[in-house]
Structure formats: structure tokens, C-alpha cells
């Protein structure tokens, strides 16, 4: 099988259109927020909660459908969140999950 057989022009178009839509969406959000000088504290709090909401939608299905390894790593991530920044806790728990899955 040649590399040219694996190329799908429709997939390339889909990736480009998705990137453009994402960029326009982000620029529009930045433009709208830039129009309001003092950002309301409620809006700021909701924007700060977006990364946690996205991580929750990615993690919870894996944990619910997973076994004891996933539950253990979720518990460790919760404990790490108390002492470290959120990103460090997430990467630490994911790294531990990869390590545990390779061992067990």
C-alpha cells in the first residue's frame, strides 16, 4: 500500500475547515470580551471554569467505564489538586495511569 492511497482529500478539507471555524470562534470571543473593559466577576469565574469542565467531560466517561486503575488515578488526581496546580495534577495522574496500564 502506497502513501498516496492513504491520503483522503475530504479529510484534509475537514481539518482545514475545522481549524478555520475554531480560529474564527476564538477571535470572535476575544473581540467581544475586549469590547467590555471591566469584565464582570461572574463572566471571569465562568471562563476560568471552562478548562475544568472540558477535563471533566474527557475524564468521567473513562473512569465510569474503566476499572480500578482509573479510579485510583482519579483519586490521586484529586489529592494532587489540593497541593499542586491543576495541570500538574492532570499530567501526573495521566502519567501514572499510563505507567500502571503498562505494568498491569
Q: Taking the domains of the chain in order of start, what are their residue ranges?
A: 1-35, 49-104
Q: What is the pLDDT of residues 42-71, one digit of tens each?
A: 888 887 888 778 878 888 888 889 889 999
The C-alpha angle 51, 11, 20, rounded to 5 degrees, equals 50
The pTM for the full model equals: 0.55
Quickly state the pLDDT bin for 20 (edges 50, 70, 90).
very high
- The DSSP secondary structure of 43-91, one letter per residue, reads HHHHHHHHHHHHHHHHHHHHHHHS-HHHHHHHHHHHHHHHHS-HHHHHH
Amino acid at each position: 500500500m502506497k502513501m498516496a492511497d492513504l491520503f483522503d482529500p475530504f479529510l484534509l478539507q475537514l481539518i482545514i475547515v475545522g481549524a478555520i471555524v475554531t480560529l474564527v470562534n476564538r477571535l470572535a470571543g476575544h473581540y467581544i470580551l475586549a469590547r467590555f473593559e471591566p469584565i464582570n466577576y461572574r463572566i471571569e469565574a465562568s471562563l476560568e471554569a471552562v478548562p475544568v469542565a472540558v477535563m471533566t467531560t474527557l475524564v468521567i466517561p473513562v473512569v465510569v467505564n474503566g476499572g480500578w486503575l482509573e479510579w485510583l488515578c482519579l483519586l490521586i488526581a484529586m489529592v494532587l489538586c489540593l497541593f499542586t496546580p491543576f495541570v500538574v495534577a492532570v499530567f501526573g495522574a495521566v502519567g501514572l495511569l499510563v505507567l500502571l496500564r503498562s505494568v498491569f
